[in-house]
Amino acid sequence: MHFLTIDDLTTDELATVLDDAAALKRAQADGTPHRLLAGRTLAMLFEKPSTRTRLSFEVGMTQLGGHAVFLGEDDIQLGRGEPVADTACALGLYADAVMARVDSHDDLETLAANAGVPVVNGLSDRAHPAQTLADLLTLREVVGDTGTVAWVGDANNVAASFLVGAAMAGYDVRAATPPEFGFEESVVARAEASADATGSEVSVGHDPEAAVAGADAVYTDVWVSMGDEAEREARLAAFEGFQVDADLLGDAAFMHCLPAHRGEEATAGVVDGPNSVVWRQAENRLHAQKALLVDLVA
Ligand code: CP
Ligand code: NVA
């Protein structure tokens, strides 16, 4: 099994990963050994920079008694033109699983088709489901099992996975994006199908005030994702009015996958303020991904 999008898991499997993540978080805090992947290796391929994803997967494998190998694109033959499919074959010969951060989601699918071991998405242009696992663990901790969450800003990779995943976990989700940077119809359809199954509601629009009204948590991400730099000026103009400031946030929890651009998608006062749970999200990357790796590999 692979984990390329959040709904590669069933709703029940997602709930199990989150339960396991909470248990592993307690075990780590208590100092209870949990070397569930002793002798196992994760190959980690990066075509883009990363702080949290790299560290949380690598440290997670160490805590599980296994090992992780960091492979920057230009450190391996992929950077000199070896095909993605051949790279996948090679990684699968040595590693028990592959985690990859790629420019194009299509390359993740090629990796998955050829590696012969589970492939995990560490961020693509279309999705960031490993982030969503941490986000949902965070929501469980700070909001509870039910509630309303709002997405304000770009309908990017993080947003697409969160919209679907939050609906799978039973939260009502409301999103506000500029019309020209809205969600793909297929993403909204997947979120709506999940919401139908769990009894939650999904709404997608263009009004930040409407999206956040009564929300328990408000989530945003950068306006210029990696790979979108050429659109920077157009994006900054389109996102005017979508900044999360103290007034828009109100009493809700503030969520961000990080890194944050203070003064663009959110004010510094919000990112660093009392309602911010951004560092809890970052910590939960570790626990959620350990649970995922155990479920995929052990
Ligand atoms: N949130 C996230 O994926 O962060 P990094 O880019 O630092 O890995
Ligand atoms: N949307 C951002 C997330 C980075 C973790 C990007 O793709 O650059």
Within 8 A by CB and 6+ apart from 29, the residues are none
Q: How far, in Å, CA of 37 to CA of 71, rounded?
A: 20
- Whether residues 41 and 143 share a domain: the answer is no
Q: Which atom of ligand 1 is nearest to the CA of 51?
A: 7
State yes or no: is 26 an active-site residue.
no
Using the mean position of ligand 1's atoms as its centre, give its distance from the Cα of residue 50 in Å: 5
- Whether residues 18 and 144 share a domain: the answer is no
- Whether residues 155 and 254 share a domain: the answer is yes
Distances (CA, A) of 116 to 39, 76, 171, 254: 18, 19, 35, 39
Q: What pLDDT is attached to residue 230?
A: 98
Total number of domains in the chain:
2
- Whether residues 169 and 109 share a domain: the answer is no
213 occurs within a structural domain: yes
- Whether residues 275 and 141 share a domain: the answer is yes
Q: Mapping DSSP to helix (H, G, I), strand (E, B) and coil, where does residue 83 land?
A: coil
- Whether residues 241 and 123 share a domain: the answer is no
1 occurs within a structural domain: no
- Whether residues 97 and 178 share a domain: the answer is no
Q: What pLDDT is attached to residue 95?
A: 98
Q: What is the pLDDT of residues 143-170, one digit of tens each?
A: 999 999 999 999 999 999 999 999 999 9
Q: Ligand 2: which residues within 6 Å by Cβ?
A: 123, 156-158, 221-222, 225-226, 257
Q: What is the pLDDT of residues 181-211, one digit of tens each?
A: 999 999 999 999 999 999 999 999 999 999 9
Q: What is the pLDDT of residues 92-122, one digit of tens each?
A: 999 999 999 999 999 999 999 999 999 999 9
Residues pairing with 172 in the sheet: 148
101 occurs within a structural domain: yes
- Whether residues 144 and 71 share a domain: the answer is no
- Whether residues 105 and 148 share a domain: the answer is no
State yes or no: is 257 an active-site residue.
yes
182 occurs within a structural domain: yes
- Whether residues 70 and 142 share a domain: the answer is no
Pick the residue whose CA is nearest to atom 6 on ligand 1.
50
- Here the CATH number for the domain that contains residue 65 is 3.40.50.1370
Got the DSSP string for 112-176? HHHHSS-EEES--SS--HHHHHHHHHHHHHHT-SS-EEEEES---HHHHHHHHHHHHTT-EEEEE
205 occurs within a structural domain: yes
194 occurs within a structural domain: yes
- Whether residues 145 and 78 share a domain: the answer is no
- One-letter amino acid of 36: L
- Whether residues 34 and 139 share a domain: the answer is no
State yes or no: is 89 an active-site residue.
no
Ligand 1 pocket test, pick from 51, 124, 161 with the greatest ligand atom count within 8 Å of Cβ, gives 51
Strand stretches in the chain, DSSP E: 41-46, 67-72, 97-101, 119-121, 148-152, 172-176, 202-205, 217-220, 253-256
47 occurs within a structural domain: yes
- Residue 212: which domain range? 131-281
ipTM above 0.95, yes or no: yes
255 occurs within a structural domain: yes
State yes or no: is 101 an active-site residue.
yes
Q: What pLDDT is attached to residue 240?
A: 97
- Strands 41-46 and 97-101: what pairing? parallel
